[in-house]
Amino acid sequence: MSLAPGSRLGPYEIVDKLGEGGMGEVWRARDTRLERDVAIKVLPEAFTADRDRLARFEREAKLLASLNHPNIASIHGLEESAGVRALVMELVDGPTLAERLEQGALPTEDGVAIARQIAEALEEAHERGIVHRDLKPQNVKLTPQGKVKVLDFGLAKAMDPEGAASAAELVRSPTLMHSPTLTAAGTELGVILGTAAYMSPEQAKGKPVDKRADVWAFGVVLWEMLTGLRMFEAESVPETLAAIFSRDISLDALPPAVPDEVRRTLGRCLERDPRRRLRDIGEARIALEGPFGNAEPAARGVARSTSPRGGRLAWAVAAVLALAVAGLAWRVAQPAPRPPLLRFTLSAVSGASIVSGAGSSAISPDGRRVVFVGGDSEGRQGLWIQELDQVRARHLPGTEEATYPFWAPDSRRVAFFARGKLRRASVDGGRVEAICDAIEGRGGSWGSAGSIVFAPGVTGPIAAVAEGGGPVREVTALEDPAKEISHRFPAFLPDGRRFLYLADPGTGGDEGKVYLASLDGGARRELLSARRTPIYAEPGYLLWAIDDRLVVQPFDPETGELSGAPRRLEEGTPGYVNTQDRAASVSRTGALLVPTSETTGTRVDWLDRRGRLVGQLPLPRESYASPKLSPDGKRLAVFSDGPGEGESDLWVVDLASEQASRLTFSPGVDRYPIWSPDGDRLAFQTDRNGVFDLWVRSAGGGGAERALFESTTNWKIARSWVAGYLAFETVERETGFDIWLLEPDRGPAPPVHLIASPASETDPEISPDGRWLAYSSNESGRSEVYVVSLPDAKTKYQVTTEGGRHPIWSRGGRELFYMTPTFSIATVEVVPGATLAFGAPSVLFPQPSPNWGTGTDQALFDVTEDGERIVMLVPENQGSQTLVVVTDWLAELEGSEAAR
């Protein structure tokens, strides 16, 4: 449901739209029961999709509704209708204080009178333990009767995690508002909730805030009312933020008519050290009562000041986002000391959720913009460009299904992989152009000399191509096939000829080797062992991750030599859990981008065919994956990641008792369980022999465990075991992902290499009658669902034409469920017989939660026997993928060195 004039939300008739901001749309509405006008604030969809966050908000909103004061705009209640959730508030007519200040300074008597009423509102809230945290002229209304109303009291906190009083707590559950996160060196991440120019110094550093932050903001607002100037105005937003920490606060700019008592009060409100600041806003209210008694501000316009207010920023969030635009902008040309190192976080940027998973983002070489893979509520998927001095991210048309974006040296073009091609696009829009074939790319780098190096597939060497297209040539070779299955994620050095790459051993969690190679040929040089590809960072370092923490090591780009030892950046720097990808990107200006996603557990939900929640298994909040219902539908097998990297175990859930039992206890990897046809056994992937093999064990917890067959292929995942056949996928050195067929109960017969091609064939699912196999393949340039006959694969059907992955047969074999490229759940009717016929694909419901299904190679759902219910794994943090920007990573390094 979308609101429009004339529509209804419960008893409220929508009249017209008043505005839109980070906290949602605001509408004027008519309360038809009480015959009064109200303001309706519609909560953002990304926010309401998080049930836990919404529940916390509703509890906090009830506390805010208890505020009853003539200078506070009241909250009447919460309303929900047709999936729209909204906050019903008092409608306050009249201009905002920001609009009035556009005319210049207020007369001193009016300014003091307005400030006194603001102080009364703050005092009432503070006595109830509520801090505004976002006080600014835009949140102050002036009624035609001369009264002051403070808006949005406490809403910033209400939309944040429950109990998030500290920076450390806030980073574990980032805000869903469009405000970024900013932190100071030596602290953990904390959410900045106000416009930058009105934040207290401790708020700007990401430290916990209390009522003294409101006192600071009150002082800034009062000073601006009396002077008509911006206290922290500068030529750039980064300098504005720097001024909060360093610029002298001059009371000499106040008009001569301002009484000394007001000057003294302002000085105490604007103490940078909160320990020396005015401790209670009530003291300010008392001080302001003296000079002019209890006069009300003029209800009409004020005289235009001869010192007009400077050009104002009509937005809030961009004040913080613009930090990275200047790269090392903190090194501004002013005599003040170097301000603290700052970080900020992009989370649910401008309504576009950031896709989790490898290679989903990169910062431009000039440090002015970020590209990320994302999607929005309108169903647009692909690449988004976030200009770091703008509020809203822009979708790049024509980049659907994009992966692994990387920048051109000019920061105006971006390359990426999509639909079997390496492609390029201008950040200003226009036609997307194909550069060359790349069936399933795994990273690339655009050099200063005009060449692109890239990994065209999941196996094989690095290739090179001119930026304009043309012949493709291999520039590395798999010199030791026993220890490297692919080369991937290349990264150029500054000369645009030499590059780094990772030689992947194909063993999952094992470290690969990082090599230095050149487009001009010659022997490669081994640099180090790592699970993630390093990047080069000026003025001479390699930066990568060890144990999910960023480290740096001095590196001479001329000689290609490392020196010293890896040094960890300070503990506050977030890690990145994805392996065998670059852990970060860095600009020439020193701005560092780190994608983060902290696992907080997985819900196990039951959905109906319309995507409605009809149940939930009350399991411990582990990180579950790969759900498989038993043949009789009474049990659910999953695996859960352990506390360390490379640890996972099998679990079985009894659906009647809703009790989970752990089946495996090995120190390594046990994952991807599938049921035997009789439901007595589970086949699964394990690394117990040092390679990823397929083993089988009893589903009841007892009995021996054994390997299904002997093989030299290192990577195998079983996907389906039906009617005597077990289908699994492997990664082959020559052909990439292939599908094999095994008959486990027929003795020592070797598996059959069923489907092999240069394309990637994955997700094999056997039909209930054992006659057909559905699978995914990107042979057409994008992933589609196909079906072949068993056991020979001689008959083949293409089921989808608009993209599809993870096919799952209904238990009757008359439907195929699958996931679309936009992460919706869809189905297609199957008409069985000697030959098959397929109906038109039909979407059952859209992506069930922000980011669901992204960044994973496995199905997160299974279907009951009757096809009416879907069990679905929903990671709790799927809507909170974040991108952390550190404005000066060298200062970060200096901070970690100083802490030693």
Q: Is 678 a catalytic residue?
A: no
Give the C-alpha distances (Å, rounded to integers) separating 209 from 5, 193, 202, 203, 206. 39, 11, 7, 6, 8
pLDDT: which is higher, 510 or 442: 442
Q: What is the predicted pLDDT for the residue at 397?
A: 92
Whether 325 is covered by a domain: the verdict is no
Q: Of the candidates 856, 359, 254, which has an alpha carbon nearest to the alpha carbon of residue 576?
A: 359
Q: Is 200 a member of any domain?
A: no
Q: How confident is the model at residue 472 (pLDDT cuts 50, 70, 90)?
A: very high
Among 122-131, 736-745, 869-878, which stretch is predicted with the lowest mean pLDDT? 869-878
Mean per-residue pLDDT, 431-455 = 95
What does the pLDDT average to over 534-549? 88
Among the ranges given (161-165, 468-472, 588-592, 801-805), the one the predictor scored with the smallest mean pLDDT: 161-165
User: 35: which 2 tokens?
Assistant: 């015959």
391: in domain: yes
Does position 352 have pLDDT exceeding 80, yes or no?
Answer: no
| Segments forming the whole domain that contains residue 551 | 342-597+883-898
pLDDT at 601: 74
Q: In this predicted model, what pLDDT tens digit does every residue of 253-291 receive, in sequence order?
A: 899 989 999 999 999 999 999 999 999 999 999 999 865
Of 91, 115, 130, which residue constitutes the final position of a domain? 91
Which of the four pLDDT bands, split at 50, 70 and 90, describes residue 734? confident
Q: What is the DSSP string of 145-190?
A: TS-EEE-STTHHHHTSPTT--SHHHHHTS--SSS--EEEETTS---
Q: Rounded distance, CA 874 to CA 599, Å?
A: 11
Q: How confident is the model at residue 562 (pLDDT cuts 50, 70, 90)?
A: very high
Of residues 3 and 346, the one with the higher pLDDT is: 3
- 450 Cβ neighbours under 8 A, 6+ residues apart: 466, 467, 496
**Ramachandran sector of residue 242 (left: φ over 0; alpha: ψ -120 to 50; beta: rest):** alpha
Distance spanning both ends of the chain, measured CA to CA: 56
812 and 758 in a common domain: yes
How far, CA to CA in Å, does 692 sit from each of 219, 444, 513? 63, 27, 19
Q: Write down which residue in 91, 115, 136 finishes a domain.
A: 91
| Shared-domain flag, residues 583 and 610 | no
Q: What is the pLDDT of residue 807?
A: 97
CA distances from 566 to 529, 542, 550, 897, 899 (A): 12, 9, 10, 12, 16
Encode pLDDT of 590-604 as tens digits.
888 888 765 567 889
Q: Considering 134, 510, 693, 738, which one is annotated as catalytic? A: 134
Task: Give the whole-angstrom CA distance, residue 435 versus residue 419.
Answer: 12
Query: Any idea what the CATH number is for the domain that residue 114 is in?
Result: 1.10.510.10
Kindly state the average pLDDT of the residues 209-235. Answer: 90
Do 687 and 589 fall within a single domain? no
Are 118 and 253 part of one and the same domain?
Answer: yes
Which of 216-220, 812-816, 887-891 bottoms out in mean pLDDT, i.e. has the lowest? 887-891
Cα distances (angstroms) measured from residue 182 to each of 117, 360, 486, 646, 877: 31, 21, 39, 32, 20
Residues 583 and 646 in one domain: no
Domain count within the chain? 4
Same domain for 43 and 15: yes
Task: Report yes or no on 131 lying in a domain.
Answer: yes
Q: Looking at the domain assignment, is residue 322 inside a domain?
A: no
* Structure confidence at residue 858 (pLDDT): 75
Residue 762 backbone phi and psi in degrees, to 5: -140, 180
**pLDDT above 70 (res 47):** no
Query: Within a domain: residue 328?
Result: no
Residue 850 has a pLDDT of 60
* Most confident segment among 377-381, 412-416, 713-717: 412-416
Q: Are 20 and 27 in contact (CB under 8 A)?
A: no
- The pLDDT > 70 percentage for the chain reads 78
294 burial level (CB within 10 Å; 0-12, 13-18, 19+)? exposed
What percent of the chain lies above the pLDDT cut of 90? 49
Same domain? 284 vs 396 = no
Which of 33-42, 126-135, 578-587, 799-808 ranks highest by mean pLDDT?
A: 799-808
Regarding whether 891 and 799 lie in a shared domain, the answer is no
Q: Are 361 and 437 contained in the same domain? A: yes
User: The tokens of 384 are what?
Assistant: 């988004």
pLDDT score recorded for residue 174 = 30
If asked whether residues 131 and 156 sit together in one domain, one would say yes
Average pLDDT along the chain: 81
Q: What is the pLDDT of residue 182?
A: 33
Residue 462 pLDDT level (bands cut at 50, 70, 90): very high
Residues 254 and 120 in one domain: yes
Domain boundary among 63, 91, 119: 91
- pLDDT, tens digit, 9 for 90 and up, residues 762-818: 999 999 999 999 999 999 988 999 999 999 999 999 999 999 999 999 999 999 999
Check residue 208 and give its pLDDT. 79
Question: What is the domain-level CATH number for residue 858?
Answer: 2.120.10.30
**In this structure, is residue 331 part of a structural domain?**
no
Q: Tens of pLDDT along 837-849?
A: 999 999 999 877 6
Q: Is it the case that residue 340 has pLDDT exceeding 60?
A: no
- Condensed to tens digits (0 to 9), the pLDDT of residues 563-572 reads 999 998 754 4
In tens, the pLDDT along 393-430 reads 889 999 988 999 999 999 999 999 998 899 999 998 88
Residue at 337 is within a domain: no
Indicate whether 61 and 163 sit together in one domain.
Answer: no
